[in-house]
Amino acid sequence: MREPARSGCPINLTVEAFGDRWTLLVLRDVMFGNRRYFRELLTGSEEGIASNILADRLKRLVEAGLLTRDDARQGQRAAYSLTEAAIDLVPIMAELGAWGVRHRETTLRLRVRAELLRDGGPALWREFMDELRAVHLGAPRPPSDGPTVAERFADAVARAEATST
């Protein structure tokens, strides 16, 4: 059950939908890490999210219309998918990452996606959003002449990890 909004201000309503740190990190992991299941989100969290907090944030994200949860049968894992509203957050996530790279001390492995998004700008964001629509919403896959944005992210992370060792 949703609590009433504190005000009708668009910024307030946005912050209420996804403004706490755990919610943004869960969205990040679904969006950029393609983690779609509870266990993947729990064990793949760089920040070590607790299971009760993860369960709460997933429930809130579904209620807020940012994720959907498929109906899993008994003994099956339920998959979470981004909604169009969540996919529309890609530019915001890109700007948050770019701000973090500019103003916070980051590690190479964890900043490479933010740098790719910053350097690729709106054209790359749109391309990535189209890929997310294909994966999460079943939209037709966009035509591609080369690696997908997700593959470019994975390659950049792998190169950063190889450099760090």
pLDDT in tens, 71-129: 877 777 899 999 999 999 999 999 999 999 999 998 888 899 999 999 999 999 999 99
pLDDT in tens, 114-132: 999 999 999 999 999 999 9
d(CA 160, CA 64): 35
Where do the structural domains in the chain lie, given as residue ranges?
A: 10-83, 89-164
Q: Which pLDDT belongs to residue 53?
A: 95
What single-letter DSSP state applies at residue 80? E
d(CA 63, CA 77): 19
Structure tokens at 53: 């907090």
Would you identify the CATH topology of the domain 10-83?
Arc Repressor Mutant, subunit A (1.10.10)
Q: Which range in 21-25, 131-135, 157-161 is most confidently predicted, on average pLDDT?
A: 131-135
Q: Which pLDDT belongs to residue 35?
A: 95
106-114: Cβ within 8 A, 24+ apart = 107/164, 108/160, 108/163, 108/164, 109/157, 109/160, 109/161, 109/164, 110/46, 112/153, 112/156, 112/157, 112/159, 112/160, 113/32, 113/153, 113/156, 113/157
d(CA 126, CA 62): 24
Tell me the whole-structure pTM to 2 decimals.
Answer: 0.87
Q: Which pLDDT belongs to residue 26?
A: 96
pLDDT in tens, 10-63: 877 777 776 778 999 999 999 999 999 999 999 998 899 999 999 999 999 999
